[in-house]
Amino acid sequence: MSPADFRRYALFYLGYYGALGAYTPYIGRWVAANGHGGYVVGAMLALWYGGRIVAPPTWARLSGRSATPGHWLVAGCALALLGFAAFAGFDRGVMLFVVMAWFGVFFNAVMPQFEAMTLSALGPRNHDYGRIRMWGSVGFLVVAGTYGWLLDRLGNDAFVWLTLPWLALTVAAAWLHRDDRPAPHASDDGTANGQLWRRPGVRHLLVTALLMQLGFGPFYVFYTLHLQAQGHGGLAVGVLWAIGVLCEIGMFWLAPRLVQRFGAHRLMTACLVSTIARWAIVALFGPSFAWMAIAQTGHAFSFAAFHAGCMRRMAELFPQRRDMSAAQGLLYGFSGGIGGVAGAGVAAVAWQMGGGTWAFLTGSAIACIALAAHVLPVRAARPSPALEG
């Protein structure tokens, strides 16, 4: 990949995750500020993750059949921008959920397509994925680390207007890929039509990724509200988000070497252990900024290294470019979609029953189940205590 191509791909990740850096930490705050309770916040995030179930596989089929898949990327980003802009006029009632569904479908549709484009462009150098994806973390860091302070001063109504420029940047970055050549068409052996999951190792990866996403439900839905309930102000909330993303950036930079040295399986095992401890700390030591900062360093493993490990496994399981787009749609739909919807629902129930303590203890328990699902099948198949990468 040439330096110019590296910049094109990095710019898209920067814009996309900059927008996500506004949405993920602060959509719950915006919804709550408009007078809605925990169930509405959970329902909003469930709709968001629901978009990952429907949109990625459908979008992968449509864009995969097109001679100009880059045009589909531009269209999806533009429709996501229009959907989010509608939040300025609809902040309650049925239309709030309609707008959420619209935005969730199109925003979630484009990333699996772009991930496939990135891995295809990298080819055999797929271990360098983290150094491109790192720029998405930079965008997330800039936004998540400052918007809590900005919203404290500008008011929660500014949330929509502060987010729109990042979505506009995503459209502009997608435009640079409008003429990218399509990957070779999928074969007619059925792999692109629902059979990818039959490959050895695929279902194991999907279940692990789903359970990890399920355990992340309290974090994505209620972390900011939990910190506010524990007495942390907007600046502290932003700093804590920033700590997590800074660690994420560092890990994405190191991930290629870690994946090559330890293998994806061992790395993902370490990530799951770290996540169990992370959610337990958030649940039990919420009033302490120091403990929250320590917990946020765990984002390096529970998100960045885990994601890099998943991408490595995807490249190993689907070495042919023609299958990559459909495979990415399957991963996003199954783990991010089903896992995200279930995680938002479980988090909402736990939050209503016992606040952040119950919610994050639930997340820690789910991470324990994910660890068992990830490790036990390998041990059952191989009596040796050594784990394969």
Q: Kindly list the structural domains of the chain, giving each domain's residue range(s) and its CATH number in brackets, ordered by start.
A: 3-183+198-381 (1.20.1250.20)
Structure token pair of residue 369: 């189940």
Are 217 and 363 in contact, with CB atoms under 8 Å apart?
yes
CA dihedral 356, 300, 275, 101 (to 10 degrees): 60
pLDDT at 333: 73
Residue 225 has pLDDT above 80, yes or no: yes
User: Over 80: is that where the pLDDT of 129 sits?
Assistant: no
Quote the pLDDT of residue 194: 52
At CB < 8 A and 24+ separation, what contacts does 33-40 make?
33/156, 34/91, 34/92, 34/156, 35/92, 36/92, 37/352, 38/222, 38/348, 38/351, 38/352, 39/348, 39/352
Whether residue 260 is predicted with pLDDT greater than 80 in this model: the reply is: yes
Query: What is the predicted pLDDT for the residue at 383?
Result: 41
pLDDT at 2 over 90: no
Q: What angle do CA 330, 336, 338 make, to 5 degrees?
A: 85
Cα 63–Cα 199–Cα 117 angle in degrees, nearest 5: 30
Please tell me what DSSP assigns to residue 336: I
With a cut of 50, say whether residue 385 has pLDDT above it.
no
Average pLDDT over residues 275-296: 96
Question: Would you state the pLDDT for residue 183?
Answer: 56
The residue-averaged pLDDT of 241-248 equals 88
Estimate to the nearest angstrom the gap between the alpha carbon of 104 and the chain centroid: 13
Higher pLDDT, 205 or 325: 205
* Mean pLDDT, the chain, integer: 84
The percentage of residues in the chain with a pLDDT greater than 90, rounded to a whole number, is 37
CA dihedral 122, 127, 129, 130 (to 10 degrees): -160
Q: Does the pLDDT value for residue 337 go beyond 90?
A: no
Tell me: the pLDDT tens digits for 140-182? 888 988 888 899 899 988 999 999 999 999 999 999 988 876 6
Average pLDDT over residues 310-331: 74
Cα 127–132–268 angle (5° rounding)? 45
Cβ pair 145, 242 in contact under 8 A: yes
pLDDT given at position 186: 45
Per-residue pLDDT at 259 exceeds 70? yes
In this structure, are residues 367 and 275 in contact, taking their beta carbons and an 8 Å threshold? yes
DSSP state of 189: S
CA distance 243 to 100: 28
